[in-house]
A and B are shown apart, each in its own frame.
Chain A
Amino acid sequence: MTRRRLNIVLIYAGVVLTCAILLFPIYWLVVTALSKPIDLRVLPPNFWPEVPQWQVFGKVLGDRPLLLWLGNSTLAAAGAVTLSMSVSIFAGYSLSRFRVRGGQSLGLFILTAKMLPATLLVIPLFGIFRSVGLVGSLWSVILAQATLIVPFTTWMLKGYFDTIPRELEQAAMVDGCSPLGALFRVILPVATPGLAATCLYGFVLSWSEYAYARTFLTSAQGNWTANLGLTTMKGEYVSDWNEISAAAIMVAIPVLLIYLFLERYLVSGLTAGAEK
C-alpha cells in the first residue's frame, strides 16, 4: 500500500470515527424514543426496536403543551437575537472600523461577560428582574439571554466586518452617504452571510439556554421554554425515557432545520474571518 493511499485510509477512518462519536447520541435518542419503556432495560440493549413506537410523538404532543413550550423558546430566542443583533451590529462595526483610545480593551472587556458562568450572573439578574417585575415574564429570559449572546455576536460580526474592505464605505461616503448611511446601504447588505451566520449562532445559543429559564420562569408554567419543559418530564421515581426522548427530538428539530437551510451562509459566515 502506498503512503498516499494509507493516508487516505487513515483520514477516512478518522472521519468515520468522529462521525460515529458525534452521531451515536442522536441515534440512541431515536432508538430510546421508538422503544417500549420495558425494552429500554434489557441487556444486552436492542440497537433498533422490533416494533418502532411512532405513536409516542403523538402521545407527547397530546399529554404535554410541547407546542406552547416550542413557541416560547422561539419567541425567547428570536427576541434575544433581535435585541443582541441590534446592539452587536453597531458594536462590531465600531470595533472593526474606529480606532479610539481604549477601544481594543473595551472590545475584550465585552468578552469578559462571557467568561463568567451563567449561574453567577443569574443572581444579580434575578434581583434586577424582580425589582422591575419581570420575573415570570418571557422578557426576563429574552433580556438575560441577550446579555449572554451579545459578546459572541459582537465579536463574530467584528470579524466579518474586518473582511469587508474599508474602501466600500469610503466609496459610499464619497457618493453621498453619511457614515451610518454607508453602514446600512452598503456594509450590511454585503455582510448578509455574516449576519445570517451570527443570527443563527445566537439563536442556537439562546435555544439551548436553560439556567435563566429555570430561575426566572419556574413559577410561570405558561411561559416555560422547551428546555425547561423537557426537564419537568423527568419524574421523581419513574421517568418515561421514551417520551422524554421523543420530546427532545421535537425540541431539536427546529434548530436542525435552520442548520440545514442556512448551512451555506453559516459556513461562509464563520470562515470569512479566516480567509483574510
Chain B
Amino acid sequence: MAGIRIENVRKSFGVLEVLKGFSLDVADGEFVVLVGPSGCGKSTMLKILAGLDDATSGQILIGDREVTDVAPGDRDVAMVFQNYALYPHLTVARNMGFGLKMRGMARAEIDRRVLEAAKILDVEHLLDRRPKQLSGGQRQRVALGRAIVREPQAFLMDEPLSNLDAKLRVHMRAEIGALHKRLGVTTIYVTHDQIEAMTMADRIVIMRDGAIQQIADPDTMFQHPANLFVAGFIGSPGMNFMRSTVTMGANGPQLRLFGQDVPVDRPIANLAGKPVIVGLRPEHFATGAGAVRFTVTPRLIESLGSEKYLYIDVPEENRGAVATRGGEDDHRGDSIIARIMDVGAIPQSAAITLSFDPARLYLFDAETHVTIAG
C-alpha cells in the first residue's frame, strides 16, 4: 500500500482544457472520493492515474515512485470499472486470476489468492461461471475480487455502483466501505452521486469544469462549503438560494428575506448596499415558532412518510437568476424546498407558518459565488 501524490496535472484536447491543474495528496490507506457533475474531469483524472490516458503536463507519484510515464500494468494499481469490464470469455476464477497470470505468478498461488478473495466477497460458488451468467451485484463483486487478488498499492474505482439498482447500490456501498476498512488499501473512487461521496469518503474532492472546488472531509464539506457550487452539490435536496441585499439596520447588518428584515450576526457591514446570494438548507426550516417566521402557501407538498418536502414560492425580491441544485444550474430561482421532519398531515393549498434560524444562513458573493466568511 502507498499514498498517492498528484501534482498539477493538466489535460487538454486541443484548446479544450478538461483538467486545469489538479493537485492532490492521498494518504496511505485513505478513501478519497472525486465527485462532480458529468464532464467535470473526474473520470479523466482517474484514467490518467491508471495510465490509461496521458496527462498534458504534471506529475503522479504512487508511494515514492514517479509513475507519470509508466504503463498501466506496471503502476501496481487495480481498477474497477462502471460496466465491470469482466472478460466475457473467461470464467469468474480466470477473470479474477488474469492479472496475476499476466505477472507470471504460479498457478497454485493464483488459485489460492482467487479462492481467498472469493471467500471475502462471497462468490466462491460462482468461480466456474461466465460473467453473463451472473447478476449485476455478482458481477460487481467479481470486479472487486479481480482488483483485490492483485493486492495492489491502490484501488481506482470509476463509478462502480452506477449500473446497480437503488437498493443494491446502498448494499454494495456498505460492502465497499467494509472492504476498505478490512484491507486498508488506498482508494480513489469516482462518482457523480454526492450521497456515495458523503457516506464512503474519508475526504471528498469536489470538481467542476476540470477544476477542484474544494477538498474536505464530508462534514466540513457539508457545513462549510467553499462556494455556491459546493453548497448546492452537497446535500439532498440541495441548498436553497435566494438573492438579497445587505443593508444596515439599528442592530447591525441585515438582509431582506420573505418580506422582512432579518438581522445577520456576521461581520458583513462592509458589504452594505451590495447584493449577496443567501443559502439555506431545506432541513433548516421548521414549522411554527422560530427566530424568523413567515407564512406561506406551498405550491406543492411531497410526503415521503417520515418527512415532507414543501415547495415554496420565493418572493419576487429574493428571486435569483440562477438556483444551483445537484451541481447543475437549473434556473429554478422562483421556488425553494423546505424539508419538514415528523409533521402531521398538511393540507394542500393551505397556509402554513414556517421559521428558520438566521444563524443557519450561508452567504455567497453574488458575482464570484465564493462563500463570504463570517
- A171 and B79 contact, CB distance less than 8 A: yes
- B73 and A175 contact, CB distance less than 8 A: yes
CB distance from B201 to the nearest CB of A (A): 22
With a cutoff of 8 Å between Cβ atoms, the chain B residues found around residue A181 in the complex are 102
CB-CB under 8 A for A167 and B81, given A173-B52, A177-B73: yes
Interface residues of B in 65-86 (CB under 8 A from A): 71-75, 77-79, 81-83, 85-86
- A174 and B79 contact, CB distance less than 8 A: yes
- B87 and A170 contact, CB distance less than 8 A: no
- B73 and A165 contact, CB distance less than 8 A: no
- Which residue of B72, B87, B88 contacts A173 across the interface (Cβ within 8 Å)? B72
With a cutoff of 8 Å between Cβ atoms, the chain B residues found around residue A167 in the complex are 81-83, 85
Chain A 98-114: CB-based contact to B (< 8 A → 1; otherwise 0): 00000000000000000
- A189 and B89 contact, CB distance less than 8 A: yes
Q: Is residue A178 within 8 Å, beta carbon to beta carbon, of the partner chain?
A: yes
Q: How far is the CA of A181 from the CA of B104 in the complex (A)?
A: 14
- A171 and B85 contact, CB distance less than 8 A: yes
With a cutoff of 8 Å between Cβ atoms, the chain A residues found around residue B47 in the complex are 170
Q: Is residue B92 within 8 Å, beta carbon to beta carbon, of the partner chain?
A: no
With a cutoff of 8 Å between Cβ atoms, the chain B residues found around residue A174 in the complex are 50-52, 72-73, 75, 77-79, 99
With a cutoff of 8 Å between Cβ atoms, the chain B residues found around residue A168 in the complex are 85, 87
Most buried by B among A168, A170, A177, A178: A170
Measured CB to CB, the nearest residue on chain B to A173 is B72
CB distance from A183 to the nearest CB of B (A): 13
CB-CB under 8 A for A190 and B88, given A172-B98, A177-B102: yes
Q: Is residue B107 within 8 Å, beta carbon to beta carbon, of the partner chain?
A: no
- A170 and B81 contact, CB distance less than 8 A: yes
Q: Is residue B167 within 8 Å, beta carbon to beta carbon, of the partner chain?
A: no
With a cutoff of 8 Å between Cβ atoms, the chain A residues found around residue B74 in the complex are 176
Q: How far is the CA of A190 from the CA of B88 in the complex (A)?
A: 7
Q: How far is the CA of A62 from the CA of B93 in the complex (A)?
A: 57
Chain A 120-156: CB-based contact to B (< 8 A → 1; otherwise 0): 0000000000000000000000000000000000000
- B98 and A175 contact, CB distance less than 8 A: yes
Q: How far is the CA of A178 from the CA of B102 in the complex (A)?
A: 10
Q: How far is the CA of A172 from the CA of B50 in the complex (A)?
A: 12
Q: Is residue B103 within 8 Å, beta carbon to beta carbon, of the partner chain?
A: yes
With a cutoff of 8 Å between Cβ atoms, the chain A residues found around residue B98 in the complex are 172, 175
- A175 and B89 contact, CB distance less than 8 A: no
- B81 and A175 contact, CB distance less than 8 A: no
Interface residues of A in 169-199 (CB under 8 A from B): 170-178, 181, 186, 189-190, 192
Please give the number of chain A residues whose Cβ is less than 8 angstroms from any Cβ of chain B in the complex.
Answer: 17
- A170 and B79 contact, CB distance less than 8 A: yes
CB distance from A215 to the nearest CB of B (A): 43
With a cutoff of 8 Å between Cβ atoms, the chain B residues found around residue A177 in the complex are 73, 102
With a cutoff of 8 Å between Cβ atoms, the chain A residues found around residue B103 in the complex are 176
CB distance from A162 to the nearest CB of B (A): 15
CB distance from A126 to the nearest CB of B (A): 44
Q: How far is the CA of A165 from the CA of B51 in the complex (A)?
A: 18
With a cutoff of 8 Å between Cβ atoms, the chain B residues found around residue A192 in the complex are 89
With a cutoff of 8 Å between Cβ atoms, the chain B residues found around residue A178 in the complex are 71, 73
- A165 and B83 contact, CB distance less than 8 A: yes
- B102 and A165 contact, CB distance less than 8 A: no
With a cutoff of 8 Å between Cβ atoms, the chain B residues found around residue A176 in the complex are 73-74, 99, 102-103
With a cutoff of 8 Å between Cβ atoms, the chain A residues found around residue B73 in the complex are 173-178
Q: How far is the CA of A167 from the CA of B73 in the complex (A)?
A: 14
Interface residues of B in 30-51 (CB under 8 A from A): 47, 50-51
Q: How far is the CA of A196 from the CA of B86 in the complex (A)?
A: 22
- A172 and B87 contact, CB distance less than 8 A: yes
Q: How far is the CA of A178 from the CA of B99 in the complex (A)?
A: 12
- A170 and B52 contact, CB distance less than 8 A: yes
With a cutoff of 8 Å between Cβ atoms, the chain B residues found around residue A170 in the complex are 47, 50, 52, 72, 79, 81, 85
- B102 and A175 contact, CB distance less than 8 A: yes
With a cutoff of 8 Å between Cβ atoms, the chain A residues found around residue B150 in the complex are 175
With a cutoff of 8 Å between Cβ atoms, the chain A residues found around residue B102 in the complex are 175-177, 181
With a cutoff of 8 Å between Cβ atoms, the chain A residues found around residue B75 in the complex are 174
Measured CB to CB, the nearest residue on chain B to A181 is B102
CB distance from B110 to the nearest CB of A (A): 12
A-B contact pairs, 5 of them (CB 8 A): A172-B87, A172-B98, A173-B73, A175-B99, A186-B89
> B residues bordering A, Cβ < 8 Å?
47, 50-52, 71-75, 77-79, 81-83, 85-89, 98-99, 102-103, 146, 150
Q: Told that A167-B82, A189-B87, A190-B89 touch, could you supply 18 new A-B pairs with CB distance under 8 A?
A: A165-B83, A165-B85, A167-B85, A168-B85, A168-B87, A170-B47, A171-B81, A171-B86, A173-B51, A173-B52, A173-B73, A174-B72, A174-B75, A174-B79, A175-B73, A175-B150, A176-B74, A178-B73
